[in-house]
Amino acid sequence: MSQIELDLSILSQSANKSVLITGGARGIGAATASLFNHYGANVVIADLAQFREAAEHLISSTFTNPQRAIFVPGNIVDWAQLTSCFKAAIERFGEIDIVVANAGIMESSPVLDVDSVDENGDLRENTEAGRVIDVNLKGTLNTLRLGLFYMKQPRSTTSNPKSIVLVGSTSSYFGGTGVTAYVASKHGVLGLLRASQSTARDLGVRVNGIAPFLTPTHITAGFAQRWKDQGLEENTPERVAEAIALVALDETRKGDCVLVGTEALQVTEAN
């Protein structure tokens, strides 16, 4: 593990690239979409249909180049819907250069609760745990597979290299936060990153990951507020977005997972 510095000059390489971002209407996804668009990229915000208004407001009010952006509704757990997102991106912009598998959720109550029993005294199934794992792990796998399929190219290709960024978490490495399903799913995202490298190389696509430290967004709202109340340092979505762009655009990175902390922690990388 070694420290790296963000070189923001690399962002100029975003110009005219086409970027698909899942969960792009809010939080880290929205910050990433805005950043890429500001530097001249075509941006496809793929998110649930219920967030159309948020996505369209983001495009119209904050994007530097709103004509270079579209919102496409889709659930990453639904294969047909997610496939349609990729097809819509290609239909509008011709190709996809970068995919950011960002969409994710966190449970709102302890999934290892053994006191939740029914009228017969039997332990109830925790359906929220399954939903978190489905979205964060299965949804990321779906995004990874479709990204590899639509961006595959000969390994000898040197121009316009394609890139996928999987958004994990420091919870991909550590498990002390108490959000069990979230931690398990983010460990799985790191496993996907490691397991995908051979296939990715064969298909001529770089696959890297990002592992942000606690970043206040709609997903972490309650937990983040308790963290803030204790006066502890926290990330910002904009800082994480810069790290995502660095990983996506730096052609030397293949199979890295970049941990993004506060300024005090800086940015570290781990293979």
Nearest-angstrom CA–CA distance, 135 and 157: 33
Q: Give me the residue spans of the domains in the chain.
A: 2-270
Contact indicator for 111, 123 with CB cutoff of 8 Å:
no
pLDDT of residue 108 exceeding 90, the answer is: no
CB 21 within 8 A of CB 75: no
In the predicted model, what is the mean pLDDT of residues 6-29? 93
pTM passes above 0.75: yes
Q: Which fold has domain 2-270?
A: Rossmann fold (3.40.50)
- Nearest CA-CA partner of 262 in 202, 207, 212: 212
pLDDT number for residue 261: 72
122 or 219: which leads in pLDDT? 122
Query: Tokens 């936060």 belong to which residue?
Result: 177
Give the model's pLDDT for residue 192: 96
Contact 102, 21 (CB under 8 A): yes
Kindly tell me if the per-residue pLDDT of 222 is higher than 80.
no
CA distance 198 to 241: 27
Q: What would the pLDDT profile of 52-78 be if each residue is shown by its tens digit?
A: 999 999 999 999 999 999 999 999 999
224-271 pLDDT, tens per residue?
A: 555 454 554 567 889 899 999 999 999 999 999 998 875 533 444 555
